[in-house]
Amino acid sequence: MTRKDSLAHFAVTVVGKDRPGIVAGATGVLYRLGCNIEDSSSTMLGGEFSMILIVSHAKPFTKGRLLDEFRGLSDEMGLSVSVRPLTRGEAEYRAPEGELCMVSVYGSDKPGIVYRVAQEFARRSINITDLNTKLIGTKEEPVYVMMLEAALPDGIAVEDVAALLDEIKKELNVEISVRSITPVSL
């Protein structure tokens, strides 16, 4: 049921100072080339707008051709464009298995909040599937907020993650909460 057998898949990133027209510009280039946007996520980070897209083309297609076609747009709008060719297996979507959990971490800004949590997860093969961080609060009292979603391997329950993060909570002096967000299948 997929188009995944098509010959060429690329991961394309487009980053530039936010303003109207970036999405229209980038997707216009892809449309004129006959590329499909299979998966994509775009958001504003700081004052930058960033797009990450998995695109495919039904015919053999080179990375160079894609970059060439983006050149006009990137020059005109001051965008950084990168292209990564994907092998067939790489482009394949694999739904995360097992329990999904959402983790909120927030507290006074300090180095290592993301790293310490990610490090403990990596050690236990907990797979981070989504991650957002933001610096909020005031200049005098900056507050760091991190929200992530992770897929738990067999044998690790949401309660185990909570217990694990309890240690980091003390170490970093931040607030951490964990809850199950495994989707209900209806």
Partner 1 sequence: MPAQKILLYPHPVLKKFCNPVPAIDEEIRRLTEDLVDTMREGPGSVGVAAPQIGATLRLCVVDVSASRLGRENNHGLLVMINPEIVHREGATIGREGCMSVPDYTGDVERATAVTVRFLDGEGTPREVEASGFEAIAIQHEMDHLDGILFLDRIVSLKTGLFRRKSYR
Residues that bind partner 1 (CB under 8 A): 43, 46-47, 93, 95, 130, 132, 134, 136, 147, 149, 181-186
Q: Which of 69, 84, 75, 83 is nearest to 29 (CA)?
A: 69
Q: Which of 41, 51, 109 is nearest to 83 (CA)?
A: 51
Minimum distance between the CB of residue 66 and partner 1, rounded to whole angstroms? 26
Minimum distance between the CB of residue 143 and partner 1, rounded to whole angstroms? 12
CA-based end-to-end distance of the chain: 22
Q: Which helix (H) or strand (E) holds 101?
A: strand 100-108
Please give the Cα distance from 135 to 32 (Å, whole number): 38
Nearer to partner 1, 77 or 147 (CB): 147
Nearer to partner 1, 59 or 139 (CB): 139
Q: Which of 110, 158, 163 is nearest to 133 (CA)?
A: 110
Please give the Cα distance from 4 to 58 (Å, whole number): 10
Minimum distance between the CB of residue 62 and partner 1, rounded to whole angstroms? 30
Residue 107, number of CB atoms within 10 A of its CB:
16
Minimum distance between the CB of residue 65 and partner 1, rounded to whole angstroms? 30
Q: Which two tokens stand for residue 28?
A: 């216009």
Minimum distance between the CB of residue 183 and partner 1, rounded to whole angstroms? 4
Nearer to partner 1, 21 or 46 (CB): 46
**Strand, coil or helix: 7:** coil
Minimum distance between the CB of residue 102 and partner 1, rounded to whole angstroms? 9
Nearer to partner 1, 70 or 106 (CB): 106
Q: Answer yes or no: are the C-beta atoms of 37 and 27 closer than 8 Å.
A: yes
Nearer to partner 1, 29 or 161 (CB): 161
Nearer to partner 1, 69 or 149 (CB): 149
